[in-house]
Amino acid sequence: MTVFIQGAIRQAMPLLFGATGEILTEKSGNLNLGIPGIMYVGAISGVIGATIYEHTVGAEAIVPALAVSITLLASFIGSLLMGLIYSFLVISLRANQNVTGLALTTFGIGIGNFFGGSLTKIIGSQTANISLGNISKYFKMTPPIADKLGWFGDWFLSYGFLTYVGIIVAIIAGYVLKRTRVGLHLRAVGENPATADATGVNVTKYKYVATCTGSVIAGLGGLYYVFEYTGNWSNNGFGDRGWLAIALVIFALWKPVIAIIGSILFGALYMLGITTTGISRELKEVYELLPYLATIFILIITSIRNKKENHPPASLGLSYFREER
């Protein structure tokens, strides 16, 4: 049981980061299908930062706080650049959002694999992996009281700090969207930019900030996977988690707090495929389908109930041009 729950939550975190980031982005009216690529870039940027640091100072001289900060900062910069590329194309140049997003995903994965391969060569790794153990152990550090609290500690406190960051970020995002003026304006931008514009909200600014913030948060999902979940980088190791994150956005009805529960549910469904013993390989593939089926199921339910609050932002996927009325 404990293994199952821990597994589910570890599987959940990359999805939660990705979904929270995508929710913020979509609330501004931008459908960013580049999220899988951005998460990949967020991961490789962190890996680059960590590896360069480690190889500059040597494995023995690593300062934990500095190592973690450099890794996070590198990841931030990588994801932010991706977010800026998307924003510039889609918001300023009004490029088609779907095409731009898909291109960005392909681009991001290409970047990740290119730098992953290069780094492997530079550090002279014997395998195709980059071992990040010297730094990732700080990401994996659990709260010190975890093992004194029995099952409670095992279930809730046996994770690295990024797990808690993920949940807190989702809760803050939910609060901002629902309870603050910034959130009100952001939602208005995604629902009806012309109205927001008429009331004096700076539509372009909101779209840029939301999209870039969303990218950085999503990038953390990639970073989590590499540093806390696996502890090493291997090309194409990230799987389809980026797409699952986008599915989770729909599943969560664009609400970050529901995304927390949804991500753990998705993680649990995924774990079901791994931990159920005595099933054939084909059946395992079917288990991996479950999160997508759950998403389709939610789509059907919400469509039948047809409650406007549960719909995607009304201007999602559309670019805004003031003079076009």
Partner 1 sequence: MDNTYAIELKNISKRFGTVLANNNVNLSVKRGEIMAILGENGSGKTTLMNMISGIYYPDEGQIFVNGEEVTITSPKDAFNYSIGMIHQHFKLVDVFSATENIVLGINDGKRYKLSEARRQVLEITEKYGFDISPDKKIYEMSVSEKQTVEIIKVLYRGADILILDEPTAVLTPQEIDKLFAVLRRMRDDGKSIIIITHKMNEVLSLSDRVAVLRKGEHIATVETASTSVSELTELMVGKKISLNINRTDPHDTSDRLVVSNISSVNSEGVTVLDKVSFTARSGEILGIAGIAGSGQKELLEAIAGLQPLTEGEIKYNSPEGESFNLRKRTPEQIRELGVRLSFVPEDRLGMGLVGSMDIIDNMMLRSYKKGHSIFLNRKSPKKLAEEIVDELEVATPDVKTPVRKLSGGNVQKVLVGREIAAKPKVLMAAYPVRGLDINSSYTIYNLLNEQKDNGVAVIFVGEDLDVLLDLCDRIIVIASGKITGEVDGRHATKEEVGVMMTGNTQKEAN
Shortest distance in whole angstroms from residue 207 CB to partner 1? 16
Element (H, E) at 186: helix 181-191
148, 181, 281, 305: which one binds partner 1 (CB under 8 A): 181
Place of tokens 């991001």: 108
Report, in Å, the least distance between residue 181 CB and partner 1. 4
305/308 with CB nearer partner 1: 308
Considering beta carbons, is residue 284 or 322 the nearer one to partner 1?
A: 322
Q: Calculate ∠ Cα 272-273-279, nearest 5°.
A: 115
209 counts as binding partner 1 under rule CB under 8 A: no
**130 pairs with which residues across the strands?**
233
Can you tell me which of 48, 103, 196, 220 binds partner 1, judged by CB under 8 A? 196
Q: By CB neighbour count within 10 A (0-12 exposed, 13-18 middle, 19+ buried), where does 280 fall? A: exposed
> What's the CA gap between 189 and 203, in Å, rounded?
6
Structure tokens that stand for 203 in this block: 């539509």
Residue 191 near partner 1 by CB under 8 A: yes
Name every residue whose Cβ is closer than 8 Å to that of residue 216 and which is 6 or more positions away in sequence: 21, 42, 76, 79, 80, 83
Residue 188 makes contact with partner 1 by CB under 8 A: yes
39: left (phi over 0), alpha (psi -120 to 50) or beta: alpha
Q: Is 314 in the site for partner 1 (CB under 8 A)?
A: yes
Distance CA 223, CA 237 (A): 12
Is 198 a residue that touches partner 1 (CB under 8 A)? yes
Q: How far is the CB of 79 from partner 1 (least distance, A)?
A: 29
Which of residues 180, 275, 276, 303 is near partner 1 by CB under 8 A?
Answer: 180
In the complex, least distance from residue 313 CB atom to partner 1, rounded to whole angstroms = 9
The nearer residue to partner 1, 192 or 232, going by C-beta atoms, is 192
258 forms part of the interface with partner 1 (CB under 8 A): no
Q: How far is the CB of 296 from partner 1 (least distance, A)?
A: 23
For residues 222 and 189, give the distance between their C-alpha atoms in angstroms, rounded to a whole number.
Answer: 28
| 323 touching partner 1, by CB under 8 A | no
Based on DSSP, count helices (H) and strands (E) in the chain, helices before strands.
13, 2
Token look-up 């095992």 returns 154
255 interacts with partner 1 by CB under 8 A: no
Q: Is residue 318 a contact residue for partner 1 (CB under 8 A)?
A: no
The one among 194, 258, 272, 294 contacting partner 1 by CB under 8 A: 194
Closer CB to partner 1, 47 or 249, in the complex: 249
Spell out where the chain has E strands: 130-131, 232-233
**Residue 257 to residue 29: CA distance in whole angstroms:** 20
Answer yes or no: are the C-beta atoms of 215 and 25 closer than 8 Å: yes
Tell me the C-alpha distance between 192 and 182, whole Å.
Answer: 15
Q: Which stretch binds partner 1 (CB under 8 A): 13-21, 112-120, 146-154, 179-187?
A: 179-187
Q: Which of 106, 195, 276, 303 binds partner 1 (CB under 8 A)?
A: 195
How far apart are alpha carbons 63 and 282 in whole angstroms? 46
Window contacting partner 1 (CB under 8 A); options: 59-67, 93-101, 146-154, 191-199: 191-199
Sites of contact with partner 1 (CB under 8 A) = 179-181, 184-185, 187-188, 191-192, 194-196, 198-201, 308-309, 311, 314
